[in-house]
Structure 1
């Protein structure tokens, strides 16, 4: 099968040859005529040599997202099936299916299907179609998921801003296939139980990318007073309690989130009276703790993304420094700071620098003992720094 061609500017093929999955608009020297948005195209260098094959969207700042670098590979239903089959196989190999039934099945570019997210929650799947190219593949994706995984139901959560950036005007959510999920789906993560709201919850319902970091916190929590800031539904809180923390305080500005934390505590046979859950603005709560001289042995700081554009980096950096300074000030000597950023625009070294400045401003020293990226089911190609979005540091505060 032949495909229409996108011709790169001279020298712009290097990133693609190194494995990067995106062709930015500035790299394109010649666009094809009459190509349907979302259709497959070949990418050639300035000399006309094949570089990659991907789906095309002239309206996007990333007009081509790479699907394959194999000239002989046709983009069809069999291609989609093989990519999803391989992704499923890897997750089943990496994750203990007896103790964990909530994880990412397909992670976009990292699994060779740019823009496609598929998460498993027990017997249900939640999907997101982030880009026009994968939107065109929608029916094939759903058919393949039903064929390979036989879920009870597939629920869509394509209410994501990335669709707007790709020229899509609709943000669909709802049932795609099978049975509707219950209001709360009960899942297991390393034998901890969580109730997940896939209809209204953040992302697809749960922060699956923090799985290993939650498990790490459990090993540090014995006999400690733990504060979990921006707790959402209590992932870190439950694992701190499982680690035999003396007390876990969970703080979030959302009442529904706090209600779900209390539900999840009870689900795991912990008493919310022992582990209080508080509706509050985290910045205000930390300020109040300082005024009351209340301190903790461990503070988890895992805020939503403070920055989504390059222009916002300076302001976001100041916010991250301020937040981490306030946390460090409240940690007892020898205690633990667990701090994370999910902002793609803040790279790993920048995040280390943020923590350094926060510690200095607080007049404390922080000794990093562990540093993690996102969980194993959220892989990132070495050639795709944008895929390494989550940074999580564990530091002893002196």
Structure 2
């Protein structure tokens, strides 16, 4: 099947831009096919082979600018990805990392993560999922050392479980993995999450290496407390982890216990983050380092939160309970906000609070989360270490 793209779209696609939007397709988007598609320009010339399949971004992906898509194509993509992960594969202190990062490695709509001897596939649209057998077979040929696999369904489906075991052996529960020498308990078949977000490994590595040594840390939207554990391993005097989800208490305790860290110096609080800020002000609590790493969008009974609209409020609240000359670690994975826009949002909030600030470090995705150089939107992670002095 061939699909003609608009003149406006063909230039960026020929340059290597992989994402297809509705408005890129000639005569509007009304295509329903699971077949591989040849995308052609206004003169009928071949641009690339890809597919259409709606997901949270766009309506399809270009995959191969050189020819057809088949088993050999996927084997080559996985082989290239493996070569580029050699440093991770050989690193005995980190056993959980991304093996294949969607469009960054040439196949938009699929990611594969390594957890020790196991792999977790995430499928982001139904079209690519129909080629699951072809893709998984190619993967196993390139990665014979992976002894078992799981999958996450990240598109809407009434028939498919959101998580399931798909081949080989089954992982123990919990499966202990290493990151920067720190142990983390993961669960490969508990819904969409595994217990740790692998894209933050370099940021957590700063804490393991002693960034918060001798300091108090507040970890907001703490999930399973990975930042807190990393800070404690690196010599933080105490950590406080705050998350609204009730499961966060037991999950965070488990991560501390996995590293033989006494729980006496670690506070784990199940509470709405904004309520905790108010509580901390009333109790006159302050912290030397505050980590703000909210989900892009969240809703509870009292409030709807989005990074685009509300991150500045978080920063303002954090400043109220940050020690003088303390450090704010501001983090987001919101792909719809550029690094420049994100930085501006934070600076505006700090200036509103009359703070003197210095941005000490900036992080984006680590090397295992390979980014397509023609698709900057794929570099979604933004983390700023900001030293703040109150006037």
Query: TM-score by structure 1 length?
Result: 0.89
Question: Which of 328, 352, 373 is the equivalent residue of 1:382?
Answer: 373
In the other structure, the counterpart of 2:278 is: 287
Between 187-196 and 88-97, the greater mean CA deviation after superposition: 88-97
Deviation at 1:31, TM superposition (A): 8.2
Q: 3-state DSSP class of the match of 1:128?
A: strand
Contact between 2:112 and 2:122, CA under 8 Å: does it hold in 1? yes
Q: Distance in 2 between matches of 1:209 and 1:59?
A: 21
Instruction: Map 1:302-313 to 2 at 5 A.
Output: 302-306=293-297
Q: 3-state DSSP class of the match of 1:365?
A: strand
Instruction: Map 1:105-144 to 2 at 5 A.
Output: 105-144=99-138
Question: Could you report, residue by residue, the CA deviation over 1:332-376 in whole angstroms, capped at 9, with x for unpaired residues?
Answer: 111110011111112111110111122123332221010111222
Note if 1:184 corresponds to 2:180: no
Between 4-13 and 238-247, the greater mean CA deviation after superposition: 4-13
Q: Distance in 2 between matches of 1:32 and 1:191?
A: 49
Instruction: Map 1:383-398 to 2 at 5 A.
Output: 383-398=374-389
Contact between 1:303 and 1:340, CA under 8 Å: does it hold in 2? yes
Tell me the C-alpha RMSD between the 2 structures: 2.5
In the other structure, the counterpart of 2:334 is: 343
Note if 1:82 corresponds to 2:72: no
Note if 1:28 corresponds to 2:18: no
Q: Distance in 2 between matches of 1:306 and 1:355?
A: 17
Question: Could you report, residue by residue, the CA deviation over 1:107-126 in whole angstroms, capped at 9, with x for unpaired residues?
Answer: 11111111111111111111
Q: Distance in 2 between matches of 1:298 and 1:180?
A: 39
Structure 2: runs of 5+ lacking an equivalent: none
Moved over 6 A (4+): 58-61
Deviation at 1:29, TM superposition (A): 1.3
In the other structure, the counterpart of 2:4 is: 7
Contact between 1:328 and 1:358, CA under 8 Å: does it hold in 2? no
Q: Distance in 2 between matches of 1:220 and 1:321?
A: 24
Note if 1:270 corresponds to 2:280: no
Say how many residue pairs are matched.
Answer: 382
Deviation at 1:57, TM superposition (A): 4.1
Structure 1: runs of 5+ lacking an equivalent: none
Q: 3-state DSSP class of the match of 1:140?
A: helix
Deviation at 1:92, TM superposition (A): 2.0
Note if 1:37 corresponds to 2:38: no
Deviation at 1:32, TM superposition (A): 11
In the other structure, the counterpart of 2:150 is: 155
Deviation at 1:316, TM superposition (A): 4.0
Contact between 1:307 and 1:345, CA under 8 Å: does it hold in 2? no
Query: TM-score by structure 2 length?
Result: 0.91
Question: Which of 214, 218, 232 is the equivalent residue of 2:223?
Answer: 232
Note if 1:56 corresponds to 2:46: no
Q: 3-state DSSP class of the match of 2:240?
A: strand
Contact between 1:228 and 1:301, CA under 8 Å: does it hold in 2? yes
Question: Does the C-alpha gap of structure 1 residues 60 and 377 become closer, same or farther in structure 2, counting only changes over 3 Å?
Answer: closer
Contact between 2:97 and 2:115, CA under 8 Å: does it hold in 1? yes
Question: Could you report, residue by residue, the CA deviation over 1:173-195 in whole angstroms, capped at 9, with x for unpaired residues?
Answer: 21111223222110000110000
In the other structure, the counterpart of 1:360 is: 351
Q: Distance in 1 between matches of 2:179 and 2:316?
A: 31
Contact between 2:298 and 2:305, CA under 8 Å: does it hold in 1? no
Q: 3-state DSSP class of the match of 2:122?
A: strand
Question: Does the C-alpha gap of structure 1 residues 94 and 174 become closer, same or farther in structure 2, counting only changes over 3 Å?
Answer: closer
Question: Does the C-alpha gap of structure 1 residues 143 and 363 become closer, same or farther in structure 2, counting only changes over 3 Å?
Answer: same
